[in-house]
Structure 1
């Protein structure tokens, strides 16, 4: 399987190359730091799988994915990004992405995802599956969506996001970076969630998340 790594940070690409070099059935045939570079590499190399950072220069999310698949219909696109907004995840899958992973995830999850994509599955990071609960875009039968359990206290999509991140041990600072909000706003979301659920610590939030079926890390 020929892989093209697309990320505007060279150190990230080097890390990915090091990780993928351990897999005998994969070969990294090129790198790209922008949308323009991606097109140039796809015209130059026979690429089976593209790992794509949605935050790269010139990349416009779902429209860019559609554009690539229109020109290279056999290409499989595995999004690997820091953006965990549910609407962005759903849009990418609806556009035809073969998977959606977060850069903050476990490297082993990337290896598993690539193997699943090779088998024709659509995959998504375990911590993000609540974003696509009930969506037809995710048809992999390996694991059911994690947010099928209903919270006794109704939670908004943003509150589910915060709950899932807390369950993974994400700090308020990192939560703000992932959600594109300030540190103070992230802390406020967490405090409001604890108040709403009548819980008093991250440990109690994590236990509550586990009871709902959200993964903990």
Structure 2
């Protein structure tokens, strides 16, 4: 495989991996909250958390620029306090990918937690387990196949993210140029062979991830 294809592949895997790791915590927490708690504004919160799934990527990119850009309230604070600049960096690309993929983890986690028998959780509490122990020893293990399927889907989505990433991180070869952006640049430059190779790599990677996610989302007796 050409080195020019390996670099954006490695960067895409790095960005998608960190974005998925971030969503492991944020998405699972949000999914559990929506599945287990009832509070005023719950439906509105769910709608807001699902917005990245339906908003145009350019709109998400603009929101991120307003938030983490050098003039954004968070970006300006990070730059002035710690000297951290997220725009035109792989960390900025990671944040964009995590935002776009977040609803996939959140919705999968919510469905998985809603499928856990609450009587088993009550039994664990009756045996003296605390809330954290119940979650990590009963709830999460039983919901894990659904959560993992959502994480794999989110990884595939983060791997192919284009619009928001381009607005936030740009297209700097070796630094922020992910696979999807590299495909765009190759097509724009008329490099058809390079574009074909990058498209093939992206497609094969996503097919493998989707097959794994589909297998995990089926009941155990169907997987055999």
Structure possessing the higher radius of gyration over alpha carbons: 2
TM-score tier (shorter)? under 0.3
Q: Which has the higher contact order (CA 8 A, sep 6+)?
A: 2
Q: Could you tell me the TM-score, scaled by structure 2's length?
A: 0.25
TM normalised by structure 1 equals: 0.26
